[in-house]
Structure 1
Amino acid sequence: KRRCVRSFHVVVINSTWVSLSWSLSDISSVPIFMVVHWSPTRLRDTEDLSLRAQTWARLPYSEHPASLKGDFF
């Protein structure tokens, strides 16, 4: 399996917005998109497994930070 992401950074803006940025190991072959997957914090500790919603977003590749809206804390 080829590794293409060198680093991945998240900056929390507030409880519903984060800024994501990443750098690639090899810029000669960039991905078309990245898939980001997270579990909402409020529901992470619940006993009801059906409420432990896992969320994902498909982000187009960009050299600039991407903003993502969700339930982060």
Structure 2
Amino acid sequence: MGGDGITAAETKFGYYPRVGLEFERFVFSVDYNFIPSSPVIKPGYEGSTKNSYFGLHIGVNLFAKKPGEK
């Protein structure tokens, strides 16, 4: 893979919706980060790269009390 292309350094605002579910001590969430594309700077080439991504998170709450616990 070639390494002679450069992406422009810039600040962009994105949108990060997240949906999750907690069952007993297990936590599941799905999110998608919407970020606009960035231009690629390379002599003789004009294009862009996508910055958005999809995330899936699975976790465990070890020290959290269950609902109704004292």
TM-score, normalised via structure 2 length: 0.40
Q: Which has the higher helix share?
A: 1
Q: Which has the higher strand share?
A: 2
Which has the larger Rg? Answer: 2
More RCO (CA 8 Å, sep 6+): 1
TM-score, normalised via structure 1 length: 0.38
